[in-house]
Amino acid sequence: MLRMFRRRRDDLLCVEFVEAVTDYLEGAMDRRDRARLESHLRACPGCTRYLAQMRTAIDLTGRLRTADVDALGADARAELLAAFRAYRAGD
């Protein structure tokens, strides 16, 4: 997956980072791809911020309880579910 959008042999594009961030956070990428990704992070403040945001989202969603979801209300819950469905459908 990471080699799809390569510019130069060891370059990593931001789009590749976004596609690979889950594998990176889960420790599911090989050493070479991890090194390329970390090299990109050292040079790209935008992807560094994105990684921090992903870590924060994971941390916060891990704290959610059923009561938190129920507190959304029917309209907010329906809107959120519609957004997830659209995302999964590729819209």
Report pLDDT digits (tens) over 10-58: 566 888 888 899 999 999 999 999 998 999 999 999 999 999 999 999 9
State the Cα–Cα distance between residues 45 and 57, nearest whole angstrom: 18
| Token code pair at residue 7 | 């510019």
CB-based contacts of 55, cutoff 8 Å, min separation 6: 25
- pLDDT of 69 > 60? The answer is yes
Q: DSSP letters of 22-33?
A: HHHHHT-S-HHH
The token pair at 86 is 């659209």
The token pair that represents 4 in the structure block: 């799809």
Element (H, E) at 54: helix 45-61
- With cut-offs at 50, 70 and 90, classify the pLDDT of residue 91: low
Q: How far apart are CA 51 and CA 8, in angstroms?
A: 23
Q: Where are the domains of the chain?
A: 2-64
